[in-house]
Structure 1
Amino acid sequence: MTMTPGLLGQGEFPGELSSVPKARRYVRDLLDAAGHAQADDALLLVSELVANAVRHSDSGRRPGGQVHVAVANCDGTLHIDVIDAGSPEHRPSLRADTCIGSCTGRGLWLVDEIASAWGWHDTPAGRVVWFQLTGQ
């Protein structure tokens, strides 16, 4: 990972579901220290993206898989990257049949609804799914 202007921190977590609360706690601590106003939204979205990374990427399927989280605050805009090993079978996409009452399949729908911007791209090392929250 390259250093980002305004980088608050970057963490590495095992590619397992038990990492979701660990990543959430890590980001919460960074945002509490920075006094960011949209911490609750950021924590929800980080939880969803880390869970997706573990469930749908090679980070969660291969022994020793890792998920990385990078948090930056640039001119009042919070930018968070969730980086995993990627997967040729799964690409991030919004499900057309997402139901608000559903227990699963709402991760990217929530990101799309809450974030001011989001996207993804593949890298030689894997996949980056990112979102931004503009300060209020």
Structure 2
Amino acid sequence: MGAETVPAFGLLGRTDLPGVAGSVCSARRFVRGVLENSGWRDTYDAELLVSELVSNAVRHSKSGRAGGRVTVAVANRGDTIRIAVIDEGSSTCAPRLPAEPDEDAEGGRGLWLVREVALSWGWHEGTAGRGRVVWFQLAWR
């Protein structure tokens, strides 16, 4: 891939969203726009995975409380992009990847899907114990 098809290394975009279910659609639209403006050809996987992570953030962290927020950041990492979802954390719930998803359950497949589709993924507590960051990387397309 030539340098002319890959934008300069670094942050491509960042947005803060309310910690509500409706923000899943906003996160997808934001990621699609940032990637398309950067020359990305196929945004489907990125949109799917950011939907899962924002949904988890709203459902399982303090971001889902009244006034809560979720941040989505998209960065160029050279030959990959990295998308991070930053929530307000939880003292009772940490990201957990089931060995195999329950096919009959209504949920519980989000992180499994991220693991299956992304090149890599992970999570860590935010700086100074504030919030949590869950991220994934995809190959530049």
Over 3 Å counting, the alpha-carbon distance change for 1:100 and 1:41 in structure 2 is: farther
- The structure number with the bigger radius of gyration is 2
Aligned to 2:123: 120
Match of 1:25 in 2: 29
Give the Cα separation in 2 of the matches to 1:99 and 1:31: 32
1:132 alignment partner in structure 2: 137
The one-letter code sitting in structure 1 at the alignment partner of 2:130 is A
Q: Provide, for residues 73-113 of structure 1, a one-character-per-residue CA deviation record: whole Å limited to 9, x for no partner.
A: 12120101100011011100112341356431110000000
Which residue pairs with 1:10 in the alignment? 14
Q: Does 1:71 align with 2:99?
A: no
Structure 1: unaligned runs, 5 residues or longer = none
Residue 109 of structure 1 aligns with which residue? 112
Q: What secondary structure sits across from 1:95 in the alignment?
A: coil
Counterpart-to-counterpart distance in 2, 1:44 and 1:116: 14
Corresponding position of 2:92: 89
Identical amino acids, percent of aligned pairs: 55
**Are the counterparts in 2 of residues 38 and 133 from structure 1 also a CA contact under 8 Å?**
no
CA distance, structure 2, for counterparts of residue 100 and residue 47 of structure 1: 19
Separation in 1, partners of 2:82, 2:23: 20
Which one is further off, 97-106 or 5-14?
A: 97-106
Q: Point out where structure 2 has 5 or more consecutive residues left out of the alignment.
A: 1-8
> Any idea what SS the aligned residue of 1:90 has?
coil
8 Å CA contact retained: 1:59, 1:84: yes
- The residue type equivalent to 2:139 in the other structure is T
- In structure 1, the residue corresponding to 2:16 is in which secondary structure? strand
- TM-score normalised to structure 1 length: 0.90
TM-score, length of structure 2 as denominator length: 0.87
Whole-Å separation in 2 of the counterparts to 1:45 and 1:89: 23
- String of CA shifts for 1:4-40, please: whole Å, max 9, x gaps: x421100000000010001110111101111224411
How many equivalent pairs are there?
A: 131
1:30 is paired with a residue whose SS is helix
Q: CA RMSD in A?
A: 1.5
